[in-house]
Amino acid sequence: MKSHPFFSILIFLFFSTLEIACSNNDDSVEPELTLSKQELAFDGTISTQKLAIETNVDWSVSSLDSWCVISPAFGEAGNKQIEVSVLENPMSDQRIATITIIAGALSKQIKVTQTANVNSIPADKTGMNSDALVLATKMKLGWNLGNSLEACASSTSASETYWSNPKTTKAMIDAVKAAGFNAVRIPAAWSGYIDNQTTYKLQGTWLARVKEVVDYCVDNDMYAILNIHWDGGWLQEHTKYTDQVEVNKKQKALWLQIAAYFRNYDEHLLFAGTNEVNTGDSSTPTEENFKVQMSYNQTFVDAVRLTGGRNTYRNLIIQAFNTDIDLADKNLTVATDNIEKRIMVEVHYYTPWQFCGMEEDATWGKYAVLWGTDYKQYATGELDGRWITGGEEEYVKTEFAKVKAKFVDKGYPVILGEYGAISRLSLAGDALKHHLDSRAYFLKYITQQAKIYGMVPFYWDNGYSGNHGFGLFDRGNHAIVDTQALNALVEGSAANYPY
C-alpha cells in the first residue's frame, strides 16, 4: 500500500520529539532523585502540602487517584517544590494513594494517606427525642446575646469585646435566666477566627470560647441557638450566582467544623445556618438571590447531618431571605432534610421601622415614638405626628398568620429570632412616659402574638441601654436596667403556642 505523506510527517515529528527528549535526559547521565518526604498524611478535609524534588534530569509525577492532585506534574532538572492537594474525604474509612515520580530511568513512590472524615460518626439519638414542634414548646421566651460573640470589623477581624460589650460571663447568663428567659440565641462570628484560608480551619481557642458560652446556657437548663451571624458579610451580603460556589464551599467547611465540635450536646443546642441574608446593596431581591440564599440553607443542613452523632437528629433553623416575613411567605422553600420534622424557620420583626429602629427623620418618613391604637391620643404637642400610622395590632396578626399558614401548620415551627424597639430616652416628662408605655405595650403584644401564631420569641438585646438602645441588662454588673420592658416581655410570653 502506498504511504500517505501525512503519515510520513507524523513519523518525522515522532522521532524528532524522541530525539529532543533523549537530548534532555542524556542516557550517559546517571539519574539522581531526592525527595523531601517519603510519605504524606492528610486529615479528612481539603488541604495541601508541599513536596521538594531535587533531580539532575527532567522529571514527571503522576497519581491514578482523582482525589489526589499534583501541581506541577512535570519539570526540568534542578530543585522544585510541588503541591500535593487532596479533596475532602467523604468516606468513613482511611484512603490511600500512590504518587509516582519518574526521573529518567529512575522512579520513586510516595504514599499518600488521608484519614476518614473526622466529622462523621454513627447516628446517636440519645437526648434528641424532641422533634421541632415539641422542642419549640419547651422554649418559653428567648433572649439575644447581641453584639458580643459576633462582634467584628470585617470578615477577617473579630473580637468578643470589639463592639464595647464586656466578655460574657456565667453570671450574666444566670441573670438572664433569673429574669424569666429559658433560651438564648448566640450570634457568632467565625471568619475572623480562621487559621487557614484554604481549608477554612477554625482556631481551636475560639471554638473553645464559644463552647464556654454555650455551656453557660445548657448547664443552666436553658436552650441555646448558635449561628453564623453577619460575620463581615462574606455570606450574608453575597447572593449572586457568581458568589454561590465559593460561599457554599466556605459555608460547608465552617459548619462541618462547628457541628462536629458541638455534636455531643443534646437537644438543648440548636444550630441556625445564617442570619439576615440579603442582596448586599439594598436592591429588590430577584429569583437569583432567592435561589442562591436557599442553597446556603441547604448546604448548612447537609453539612450538619454529615457529621453524624447527635447532629443526625439535631433541630436546625433555616432563614427566610433577609428574615423577612413577606419574603418567607412568597419565596422560601424549606431545605430538604433526610430526618423528618427537625427543621425550623427563622424570621425577624422590626416593623414598623419608624418606631422600632429609625433614629432620625428621613425623606421617606418621620420616626415614631408611639405605637398601638390606644396611644394615638398622646400624639400631641412635641409628639405631634410621632404616632405610627401603620403596622399596628391588626397588621401584626396578618403578618404572623402568614408564617403560621406557610410553615407552622405544616410542621415547621418558626423562630422569631430578633424583635424589639429602641428606647428614646432623649424624651422627658410625659412624652417619655407615653413612649415607654407604648414601647412596653409593643413588646408585650409582639411576644404574645408570636406565641399564639406558633413563633418562639427571642428579644434582641444589644447590650446598650442608653438612648436608642435595646439593652435590658447592664452586662458589667448583670443588673436589670429596663424593668418595664422586661416585665412586658415576660407577661407576653405567658401566651400558649397553638401546638
Q: Is the pLDDT of residue 362 over 80?
A: yes
| Domains by residue range for the chain, with CATH | 25-114 (2.60.40.10), 132-492 (3.20.20.80)
Comparing C-alpha atoms, which of 220, 345, 323, 200 is closest to residue 270?
345
- Out of 160, 267, 276, 346, the active site residue is 276
pLDDT given at position 3: 47
Sort strands 33-35 and 95-103 into parallel, antiparallel or unpaired.
unpaired
- Span of 182-191, 193-202, 258-267 with lowest mean pLDDT: 193-202
276 is catalytic: yes
The mean predicted confidence, pLDDT, of the chain is 93
| Residue 122: exposure state from Cβ atoms within 10 A (0-12, 13-18, ≥19) | exposed
Q: What single-letter amino acid sits at 366? A: K
Catalytic residue of the set 160, 267, 346, 418: 418
Q: What is the dihedral of CA 275, 210, 446, 282, to 10 degrees?
A: -20
pLDDT score of 20 more than 50 = no
Contact 76, 232 (CB under 8 A): no
Pairing state between β 269-272 and 39-42: unpaired
Q: H helices then E strands: how many in the chain?
A: 11, 21
pTM of the predicted structure, to 2 decimals = 0.81
Give me the pLDDT at residue 182, please.
98
User: What residues have CB less than 8 Å from 161, skipping those under 6 apart?
Assistant: 148, 151, 167
Q: Quote the CA–CA distance of 372 and 394 in Å, as a whole number.
A: 10
% of the chain beyond a pLDDT of 90: 86
Whether 1 shows a pLDDT value over 70: the answer reads: no
pLDDT digits (tens, 9 = 90+) for 373-411: 999 999 999 999 999 988 899 999 999 999 999 999 999
| Nearest Cα to Cα of residue 112 among 193, 183, 37, 3 | 37
pLDDT digits (tens, 9 = 90+) for 458-479: 999 999 999 999 999 999 999 9
Give percent of the chain above pLDDT 70: 93
For the chain, the residue count is: 499
Instruction: Confirm if 423 and 436 have CB atoms less than 8 A apart.
Output: yes
| 212 has catalytic annotation | no
In DSSP notation, 222-278 reads -EEEEE---GGGTTTT--SHHHHHHHHHHHHHHHHHHHHHHTTS-TTEEEE--S---
Grid cell 438543648 is found at 268
Residue 417 near residue 459 (C-beta atoms within 8 A): no
E-assigned strands of 5-103?
A: 33-35, 39-42, 47-55, 59-63, 68-71, 74-75, 78-86, 95-103
Q: What confidence score (pLDDT) does residue 43 get? A: 78
18 contacts: CB under 8 Å, gap ≥ 6: none
Q: Report the C-alpha gap between 379 and 382 in whole angstroms.
A: 8
